[in-house]
Amino acid sequence: MSRLQVVSGKGGTGKTTVAAALALALATEGKRTLLVEVEGRQGIAQLFETDALPYEERKIAVAPGGGEVYALAIDPELALLDYLQMFYKLGGAGRALKKLGAIDFATTVAPGLRDVLLTGKACEAVRRKDKAGRFTYDYVVMDAPPTGRITRFLNVNDEVAGLAKIGPIHNQAQAVMRVLKSPETAVHLVTLLEEMPVQETADGIAELRAARLPVGRVIVNMVRPRVLDAADLELVRTVPRSSVAQALSAAGLGGARRGGHAERLVDPLLEQAAEYTERYALEQEQRAVLGELELPLHELPLLAEGMDLAGLYELATELRKQGLS
């Protein structure tokens, strides 16, 4: 199992939720995972119902079986100062650089430097060891930028290594790329069973593969329950309205005669069934498209009660059941 698990997906597919559930799933049975956020949205804090995360690794959840999930919201500016301190002992000079706008420049304007720092910090956490020589974290899960930007984001160190042909940045960039392109890393894509996210997933996978970045799994999120089966869908097209009205009436929903309570439910219910049928057919098409990607495919249910902390544990259990951890 790769130790750096990168989770991406189109906006709105719930990649932060899946990343958090995966961090929980990987932490079960006494493991320790680090969940990393790189986009400054504080999505993890919202999900775990805690205060905004500082730039500091802190424990946010305990997994079944005694495991621990730590979380870190990487702030590029602080990551750069951190980095300068670590490599150059530049405490005061770092502050001066900041005054000059150099830090601002480095983290917002300079091409890709921001992304270099973010990926660099995550890779550092992957490689970090304690005094006894054991890895500090068994797994690092990254809530990464969306599918449209993920290849560029992960590959930025290649570009930087090309721009800075020598020097510590060049070396650092190459070290990060070694981790990202190795089996130590797996990039998972979260999608919905809808056309646009599926198309974007397929495009994203092609880009990742072209850049020789290791593609992991496709996780279909918010899958709605199968309520009507094939026989139902067949029958719904031919069933006499009066039979449905009688069945509704028998179930205690009022009169089956014209204008009766049960009878007036028939049209709206059949209408909803027609929508279901159409949606189901579209979902099957998208399943087929995903099937052609030749990657392990997983499905997570839509939680009827909406997403909350309990739901997160539910999804983590589901991920474990499906062998993702």
Partner 1 sequence: MSPDPAEAQDAARPHLSPARVLDVDPLLDDPDTRIVVCCGSGGVGKTTTAAALGLRAAERGRKVVVLTIDPARRLAQSMGIDSLDNVPRRVKGTEGDGELHAMMLDMKRTFDEVVEAHADRERAAAILANPFYQSLSAGFAGTQEYMAMEKLGQLRARDEWDLIVVDTPPSRSALDFLDAPKRLGSFLDGRLIRLLTAPAKLGGRAGMAFLNVGMSMMTGTLGRLLGGQLLKDVQTFVAAMDTTFGGFRTRADATYKLLQAPGTAFLVVAAPERDALREAAYFVERLAAEDMPLMGLVLNRVHGTGAGRLSAERALDAAENLEDPRIVDQGDGKAGLRNSPDTYGSSESPAATPSAPDDGSPAGTDDGSPAADPERTVDQLTAGLLRLHAERMQLLSREQHTRDRFLARHPEVAVVEVPALPGDVHDLPGLRDIGDRLAAGRTELS
Comparing CB distances to partner 1, the nearer of 67 and 76 is 76
CB of 134 to partner 1, least distance (A): 32
Q: By C-beta, is 22 or 198 nearer to partner 1?
A: 198
Q: Which is nearer to partner 1, 59 or 278 (CB)?
A: 278
Dist. CA 25–CA 322, nearest whole Å: 11
> How many CB atoms lie under 10 A from the CB of residue 288?
10
List 69's β-bridge partners, or say none: 33, 61
Query: CA 278 to CA 296: how far, in whole Å?
Result: 26
What span, in angstroms and rounded, lies between the C-alpha atoms of 176 and 122?
9
Judged by CB, which is closer to partner 1: 84, or 186? 84
Cβ nearer to partner 1, comparing 175 with 235: 235
Strands 215-223 and 68-73: unpaired
Tell me how far, at minimum, the Cβ of 197 lies from partner 1, in Å: 7
CB of 279 to partner 1, least distance (A): 4
Residue written as tokens 């739901």? Answer: 311
Nearest distance, CB of residue 21 and partner 1, angstroms: 15
DSSP H/E element including 166: none
Report, in Å, the least distance between residue 160 CB and partner 1.
9
Smaller CB distance to partner 1: residue 182 or 242? 242
CA-CA distance, 280 to 56, in Å (whole number)?
A: 44
Number of other residues whose CB lies within 10 A of the CB of residue 143: 27
Which CA distances in Å does 297 have to 8, 238, 287, 324?
15, 35, 9, 10
In the complex, minimum distance from the CB of residue 114 to partner 1, in angstroms, rounded to a whole number: 5
